[in-house]
Amino acid sequence: EDNVLLVGEPMGLFIANEPGPLDEVGSYDFAVAGAEFNVAVGLTRLGHRASFLTKLGPDPFGDRILKLMEREGIATDQVLRTEGRPTGFMLKSQVVTGDPQIYYYRKGSAASTLCSQDLVGLDLSRCGLVHITGISAALSDSCRAAMLDLAGRAHDAGALVSFDSNLRPQLWASEELMRDVTNELACLADVFLPGINECRVLVGTDDPEKAAAWYLERGCRLVVIKLGAQGAYYADAQGRCGVVPGFVVEKVVDTVGAGDGFAAGVISGLLEGLPVPEAVERGCAVGAVQVTVRGDNDGLPTREELASFMASRPRCSD
Ligand code: KDG
C-alpha cells in the first residue's frame, strides 16, 4: 500500500523578514514548520497519500496547522486536539550565509504529550511506510517510548520504517541520550537518512562508508547519508552502494527543510519502486529545490516542477 504515516510535531513558525538577531527583528511572517510535516507536504505534492498523527492545542496555531494539512491533502483523522496544552511554535532568523538561528517555544506542548497510549487504536494495515524523526523522540520521555513502540508496531504490520536523525541538541537533555536513542531508532529502521555531520556525532566518523556499515551491521536495511551540496552516499544490506551527485543550486536562500525535502524525494521514489540510486537522486533534487525558498516547506515541488528541475539542472559532478 502506498500510504505513508507521519508522526511528529507541526508547529507555528515565525520567519524573520529581515536579517539580524531574533530579538531585534522588526517583523515576522507566519508559516508552519515541523520536520515530519514538511515531509508530508513533500509527499502529497508528489502525489502520494500521507496521513499525520499528532496532537495540537485548541489555539490558532493548531487551527492553522489543521487547515494547512487539509489544503495539502494530508489526512487528518489521526490528529488529536489536546485541551489545556498549547501548540508549539518557533522563531527563525534570516541569514546571508549559513544556517539560520532557531528558537523554540514547545516545552509542554500538546505534541510533547504524545505517548504509546495514543497508538493503541492505530490501524497500520493499509500503511506502506511510517516516517519518524529524532525530533519526535526528543520531545519527552513519553514521545520517545511512543516512537520506539511505533517502529515495532510498523514492522509487525509489515510496513517499512524510515527514520531521519534530525539531531536537535537544543531539545535533548544530554548528547549521550541523543546519541543512544537516535542510534536505537536508526537500527530499527529499514531506511535511515542521516547527514554526514550527524554521523560524526552519532558514530564518531564522517567517512560515509564506515558510518553506513555501522548501521547495516546492526539491522538497518538501507542507509542514505546526505553530503550537503555534494549529494548523497547510499549503502544497503545487499551490499549495493554508491555516491549520487547533488544538483547545482545558484542561490541558497534558507537551508532549513532541505533534509525533509530529501526524505520526501527518497521515500516517494522507493514507494514507486525506483532503484535506490534514482530514489536518492530524486531526494537530492527535492532538497535542492527546497533551499531556494525561505519557508520550511512552501518550496516543495509538484511532480511537474520536479521533472522540469531534474531535466534542466546540472549535477555537481558535471
Ligand atoms: O527540518 C526542518 C525542521 O527543523 C523545521 O521545520 C522545524 O521541526 C522543526 C524542528 O524541530 O527544528
Which is it for strands 89-94 and 79-81: parallel, antiparallel or unpaired? unpaired
Atom of ligand 1 nearest to the CA of 106: 11
Q: Is the ipTM of this complex over 0.85?
A: yes
Q: What is the CATH number of the domain that holds 294?
A: 3.40.1190.20
Give pLDDT tens digits for 135-193: 999 999 999 999 999 999 999 999 999 999 999 999 999 999 999 999 999 999 999 99
Rounded CA gap, 170 and 172, in Å? 6
Closest ligand 1 atom to the C-alpha of 296? 6
In a domain, 22, yes or no: no
Q: Does residue 93 belong to any structural domain of this protein?
A: no
For residue 101, tell me if it sits in a domain. Answer: no
276 — phi, psi (to 5°)? -50, -45
Give me the domain span that covers residue 168: 3-8+33-87+106-312
**How many residues are listed for the chain in this entry?**
318
| Residue 23, in any domain of the structure | no
Supply the pTM of this predicted model. Answer: 0.96
**Which one has a higher pLDDT value, 57 or 296?**
57
In a domain, 18, yes or no: no
Whether residue 26 is contained in a domain is answered as no
| Rounded Cα–Cα distance for residues 23 and 28 (Å) | 11
The count of structural domains within the chain is: 1
The amino acid present at 138, given as its one-letter code, is A
- Within 6 A (CB) of ligand 1 lie 33-35, 38, 135, 166, 168, 256-257, 259-260, 296
User: What is the band of 308 on the pLDDT scale with cuts at 50, 70, 90?
Assistant: very high
Which grid cell is 48? 502520494
CA distance 229 to 287: 10
**Is residue 92 in some structural domain?**
no
106-134 pLDDT per residue, tens? 999 999 999 999 999 999 999 999 999 99
Q: Is the pLDDT of residue 313 over 90?
A: no
Please name which of 37, 20, 2, 16 lies closest in space to residue 296, comparing C-alpha atoms.
37
Distance CA 189, CA 215 (A): 9
| In a domain? residue 168 | yes
